[in-house]
Amino acid sequence: MIYTDRSRYETGLDRCPRLRYLQYHAGPNGYGIRKARRSMPLLVGGLVHDALAAVLFHVKQSDELPKEEVIRQAIQGCADSYRKEVETFGLQQVETIDQAVQEQVIQEQIALLKGLVWSWCIEVLPEIHSRYKVVDVEREELLELDDDIAVQGRSDWIGELRESPGTYGWHEFKTASMFHPVWEAEWETKLQFALGVIAAEKRYGCEFHEHYVHGLAKGRRSKPRDGGPKYQDSPYCWAWVKPGNPPLEPDRWEPEFRWEDEFGKIHTLGRGFQRRQTYLYPDAPEGWDPVEYWVRQLPDRVRRNRLKLIGPLNRQRVMIESLQRQVLGEERKWQTILMELYTVAEQCGANYWTHPDFQAALDWYVPQSWSCLRYGSEHGCEMIPVCFREPGWEDPLNNGYTFRKPHHEPELEQMRERGLEPEMGWGDEDE
């Protein structure tokens, strides 16, 4: 069985054929290569997904709102994973910082994780539980397009409407630096719903007409005016503090320097306020995590402004009807391309990667879009060093890259059956 998924299909069509080849097909094992250091935004976004999934698993099993300890354990497990990965492998955006700054980044991003998860659990989960019975969480979906090609997919969670049994909603979590009308509008025709929902509808025996995106705003990584390392511009990570005169006057902690109230009036803090990390919040009661206490006592508007429910999105019938043929045709084309490249590689011998004939074949079959900086210079394509033949491009796996570890279970299990057990440090595929 040849496995594909929405990510590689979109990468090959929307971004760059060469990027798809390198990320999903290149390398001696044929599964692609990835940067050994992961991107900070993608890593944190994945951990938020994992923590919320753990919470929703509990809701699915008990059909009850989770107790605080369940949420804490879900967050702590992901925070421990984050710290371990960063300390072992580092991050793409922070390669040259000293130990003190790295620890600040770790603490900051863990605070962001806690803030996003607690905010969603406080502001959204109770309403979700009242409307839906959670029936699937992180369920792998497999859509067979032909005898030998299948599309892998995975919903974040599926809920059955309590007031209308047999009616289901498909829900996805998405983190973003900030909410923007363009970002919100593009979900109407995203392949994520159209591809994933086909297999789920076959499994449930009915159409899904409720599709939602649960947006969680992380804030931008900003540069301080007075210099120094970048910081995560989020009230979950940093507060504005005006020193007091203890014990007569305590320090004053505020979540935002500038905000708009419910009447549309803009408020701004006065002079004397400086940024300070929320994990240093001094007013948390004994035994409480400072960040958790800080997030839970924030004004509702602060938490709600960083959450966005997009939907219900329309069911795109034309897309759903055409997409299976389109994906099958695209994958057949890629199988032909990969066989041609394999033939050329065999003719070029053991050092095929740097052979002029193989590089010419890559240019012919998988051209580059050269849209290398579409997300800005700080988030350029991870394959720039390879495509621009920077020092080390001849041997990527010994110069900052590693093997891709599949995101979906069917492909991961197939890899293991072939004797390719992923090792520690293999690059997790980012969804």
* Domain boundaries for CATH 3.90.320 within the chain: 38-315
Q: Which pLDDT does position 370 carry in this prediction?
A: 95
More confident residue, 422 or 186: 186
- Contact of 372 with 24, CB cutoff 8 Å: no
Written in H, E and C, the secondary structure of the chain is CEEEEHHHHHHHHHHCHHHHHHHHCCCCCCCCEEECCECHHHHHHHHHHHHHHHHHHHHHHHCCCCCHHHHHHHHHHHHHHHHHHHHHHCECCCCCCCHHHHHHHHHHHHHHHHHHHHHHHHHCHHHHHHHEEEEEECCEEEEECCCCEEEEEECCEEEEECCCCCCEEEEEEEEECCCCHHHHHHHHHCHHHHHHHHHHHHHHCCCCCEEEEEEEECCCEECCCCCCCCEECCCCCEEEEECCECCCECCEEECCCEEECCCCCEEECCCCCEEEEHHHCCCCCCCCCHHHHHHHCCCHHHHHCCEEEEEEECCCHHHHHHHHHHHHHHHHHHHHHHHHHHHHHHHHCCCHHHCHHHHHHHHHHCCCCCCCCCCCHHHCCCCHHHHCCCCCCCCHHHCCEEEEECCCHHHHHHHHHCCCCCCCCCEECCC
The stretch 274-298 carries a mean pLDDT of 95
pLDDT at 44: 80
Tokens 């290398």 -> residue: 372
- Residue 79 Cα distances to 1, 46, 76, 107, 174, angstroms: 36, 11, 5, 9, 19
Q: Is the pLDDT of residue 94 over 60?
A: no
pLDDT, position 409: 93
Mean pLDDT to the nearest integer, 99-104: 79
Residues 52-64, mean pLDDT to the nearest whole number: 97
pLDDT at 266 over 60: yes
Structural contact between residues 146 and 329, judged by C-beta atoms closer than 8 angstroms = no
Give me the pLDDT at residue 91, please. Answer: 61
CATH of domain 38-315: 3.90.320
State residue 428's pLDDT score: 65
Q: Nearest-CA neighbor of 196 among 5, 429, 11? A: 5
- In this predicted model, what pLDDT tens digit does every residue of 350-372 receive, in sequence order? 999 999 999 999 999 999 999 99
| 190 or 61: which leads in pLDDT | 61
- Mean pLDDT over 2-19 rounds to 95
Q: Check residue 315 and give its pLDDT.
A: 87
**pLDDT for position 206:** 93
Q: Mean pLDDT throughout 200-216?
A: 92
Task: Give 412's pLDDT tier (boundaries 50, 70, 90).
Answer: very high
Q: Tell me the average pLDDT across 180-185.
A: 91
- Average predicted confidence (pLDDT) for the chain: 90
Beta bridge partners of 144: 150
pLDDT digits 0-9 by tens, 170-181: 999 999 999 999
Position 221 scores a pLDDT of 86
* Segment 75-102 mean pLDDT: 75
pLDDT (0 to 100) of residue 101: 77
- Write the pLDDT tens digit of every residue in 231-254: 899 999 999 999 988 777 889 999
pLDDT score at 368: 97
Q: Is it the case that residue 100 has pLDDT exceeding 80?
A: no
Mean pLDDT of 165-192: 91
**pLDDT band, residue 426 (cuts 50/70/90):** low
State mean pLDDT over 216-239: 88
With bands split at pLDDT 50, 70 and 90, how would you rate the model's confidence at 36?
Answer: confident
Which range among 114-118, 188-192, 374-378 shows the weakest confidence by mean pLDDT?
Answer: 374-378
pLDDT at 212: 95
pLDDT (mean) for 195-224: 90
- Please state the rounded mean pLDDT for residues 314-334: 93
